[in-house]
């Protein structure tokens, strides 16, 4: 299982990074719920909100920002 890391941006946002350091999305607090917001990049390097390898996990909800839970849920079932 891939283990992701969370890096704080501000009290309501964490950036989510793959084991190789690639930014794959953000965990954003919306009200009392934390939601994973997938991101990707197009061929020109422009940000694609909701895109990337975890686009099918976009808007997955969490009760707290926890890297282990995030890793387990984003990889269940494993992508690829």
Q: Is 46 within a domain?
A: yes
Q: Is 27 within a domain?
A: yes
**pTM for the full model?**
0.88
pLDDT confidence bin for 1, thresholds 50/70/90: low
Q: Is 21 within a domain?
A: yes
Q: Is 80 within a domain?
A: no
Q: Is 29 within a domain?
A: yes
Q: Write down the pLDDT at residue 77.
A: 66
pLDDT above 70 for 78: no
Q: Is 51 within a domain?
A: yes
Range of 33's domain?
A: 5-74
Q: How many domains is the chain partitioned into structurally?
A: 1
Q: Write down the pLDDT at residue 75.
A: 85
Q: Is 79 within a domain?
A: no
**Could you read off the pLDDT of 22-71 as tens digits, one per residue?**
999 999 999 999 999 999 999 999 999 999 999 999 999 999 999 999 99
Q: Write down the pLDDT at residue 42.
A: 92
One-character DSSP codes across 17-77? E-TTS-EEEEEEEETTEEEEEEEEE-TTS-EEET-STTGGGTT-EESS--HHHHHHHHTSS
């Amino acid at each position: 299982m891939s283990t992701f890391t969370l890096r704080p941006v501000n009290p309501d946002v964490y950036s989510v990074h793959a084991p190789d350091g690639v930014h794959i999305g953000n965990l954003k607090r919306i009200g009392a719920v934390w939601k994973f917001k997938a991101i990707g990049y197009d061929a020109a390097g422009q940000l694609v909100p909701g895109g990337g390898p975890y686009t099918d996990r976009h808007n997955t909800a969490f009760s707290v920002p926890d890297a282990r839970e995030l890793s387990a849920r984003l990889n269940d079932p494993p992508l690829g």
